[in-house]
Amino acid sequence: MALPKLDSPTYETELPSTGEKIKYRPFLVKEQKLLLMSQESKDPKEQMNSMGQIISACTFNKVDPFTSPLFDIEYLFLKIREKSVGANVTVMVTCPDDNETKVPVKIDLEKVGVHMTVGHTNEIELSDNMKMIMKYPLLSDIANTTINNEADTVFSILQQCVHEVHHGETVYNRVDVSDKDLEEFIDSFSTQQFEMVTNFFETMPKIRHVVNITNPKTEVKSEVVIEGLDSFLV
């Protein structure tokens, strides 16, 4: 005789990018095992793939984790973690006044959301008659990036996030441009043009939370911004 199946509670949230309502459930033991195995491997690609599998399963296959913006996926993962393990996490934060003292800070994950920077745009005006249309990084972009050093990683993700290049009336779609041509195009940027691209990544939506801390050694009070999924996972 087969054992009865256990019912999991379901919850609802909105995707930050579209406002679409999504139902989700907490982790099951099989997903926690998958997560632990990927963490033990210390392989970023395996960790990203495991996160994708968990997101897909916990949203009843309603969210494609490899075609959705990364900030949507990180937000959903945090919501699932909140309902699976608990809303309160304690993270270690470095005091900015001496840049070495670490203090524990308790964070309520229910209060962590995606920060949208005012004035942010995915259109980068490179010159009077040329602009780039960017797309937000996907989980697949990160998973497919070979991490040799920080500079290579930045340029690899940048190339994957170029959607279109507009030159006057001509539109060059990324799928029609070779990796070599795109690399040469990016290498030809001036410092100011590259700063515009950097600004796109710095101001794009991301999970973010602000905390106030006091350095126990210096008694200096500071406001610290915590960003990115890794900062909230302990």
Percentage above 70 pLDDT, the chain: 96
Q: Assign 215 a pLDDT band (cuts: 50, 70, 90).
A: very high
Q: What is residue 49's predicted lDDT score, i.e. its pLDDT?
A: 86
Segment of 36-40, 41-45, 225-229 carrying the highest mean pLDDT? 225-229
* Domains of the chain by residue range: 10-86, 88-114+205-234, 123-203
Q: Assign 146 a pLDDT band (cuts: 50, 70, 90).
A: low
Per the prediction, the chain carries an average pLDDT of 90
Q: Assign 234 a pLDDT band (cuts: 50, 70, 90).
A: low
More confident residue, 153 or 73: 73
Q: What is residue 107's predicted lDDT score, i.e. its pLDDT?
A: 94
More confident residue, 126 or 29: 126
Nearest to 60 by CA among 109, 11, 14, 102: 11
The answer for 111, left when phi > 0, alpha when psi is -120 to 50, beta otherwise, is alpha
Q: What is residue 69's predicted lDDT score, i.e. its pLDDT?
A: 94
Q: CB of 135 within 8 A of CB of 161?
A: yes
Q: What is residue 180's predicted lDDT score, i.e. its pLDDT?
A: 94
Phi first, then psi, for residue 83 (nearest 5°) are: -80, -15
Q: Assign 148 a pLDDT band (cuts: 50, 70, 90).
A: low
d(CA 163, CA 173): 6
